[in-house]
Amino acid sequence: MPVSREVHLIERPKAMPTVDQFQIVETNVPDAADGEVLVQNLYMSVDPAMRPRLTAGQDLGVAMMGGALGRVVQSKNGDYAVGDLVSNRLGFREYFTSDGKGLTKLTPDPDLSLTTHMHALGMTGFTAYGGILHIGALKDGEQVFVSTAGGAVGSIAAQIAKIKNCYVVGSTGSAEKAAWLKDEVGLDAVINYKDAPIRGQLEAATPKGIDVYFDNVGGDHLEAALRRINTLGRIPVCGFISGYNSGHSSVSNLSN
């Protein structure tokens, strides 16, 4: 019966979350019963999509939900063996038991880091793939703008667009990320939105307008993109992170 540490939400934030709204709790986790496995989480993912749940959706006083990768350390379930690697959404705890529901068995690749299953081959990669190719209906050679292009989802969306031979502009909030996007990822133009207002920078970076805007931000990024969007342009909306801590919507023109 291992001792597990869990992260609990104990008070709902009204704006920026603070440390005192969370608590680390120790609990005893029972050994695997018949039909169950005991999983030790190895990696946990902190994602922007978790923030809205802190306001509504995440229960108080229980382990927080979130993406994780773990290893089966006990098994009384014929579908899993000790040592199997699994992904799950029961993230913010060190150990848990499961009857197998909510677990996805992983096949590790010796040429890839295990954590690849949390980004490019995980939920964030799937989000980028579905958002830009299916919702955004991206075509070869189009003009693309990706906000938070240095993030887990945005970086994959931007790289997919480059694979499709598109002209890709990305925005980010640090010089280090801007250099990575330009020099290593190979974007055609990179905007550091902290250097100057996004509207002017985006206009200069998109001389042929925007066919697809992959939106992770909302707010002033969306306002700027709407001014540059081409006829029949598409905007797959992945998130509104600029407004997650404001207590209200950051996209005023969606209701106009």
pLDDT at 110: 87
157/231 same-domain check: yes
Q: Give the integer Cα–Cα distance in Å for 80 and 236.
A: 38
pLDDT at 56: 85
Computed on alpha carbons and rounded to an integer, the radius of gyration of the chain in Å comes to: 21
pLDDT at 46: 86
Where is the domain boundary, 106, 138, 154? 106
From the list 100, 90, 28, 30, the residue with the least C-alpha distance to 63 is: 90
pLDDT at 21: 94
92/212 same-domain check: no
141/99 same-domain check: no
What are the tokens at 133? 């190719």
pLDDT digits (tens, 9 = 90+) for 71-92: 999 999 999 999 999 999 888 9
State how far Cα 81 lies from the chain centre.
29
Q: Give the integer Cα–Cα distance in Å for 111 and 120.
A: 14
Where is the domain boundary, 56, 71, 106? 106
The alpha carbon dihedral of 117, 119, 124, 126 has a sign of negative
C-beta separation of 171 from 200 below 8 A: no
pLDDT digits (tens, 9 = 90+) for 133-150: 999 999 999 999 999 999
pLDDT at 255: 46
Range of the domain at 247: 123-255
* CATH classification of the domain holding 158: 3.40.50.720
Q: Give the integer Cα–Cα distance in Å for 92 and 164.
A: 37
Low-confidence ranges of the chain (pLDDT < 70): 242-256
What's 6-63 look like in SS3? EEEECCCCCCCCCHHHEEEEEEECCCCCCCCEEEEEEEECCCCCHHHHHHCCCCCCCE
88/172 same-domain check: no
> What is the number of other CB atoms lying within 10 angstroms of the CB of residue 220?
16
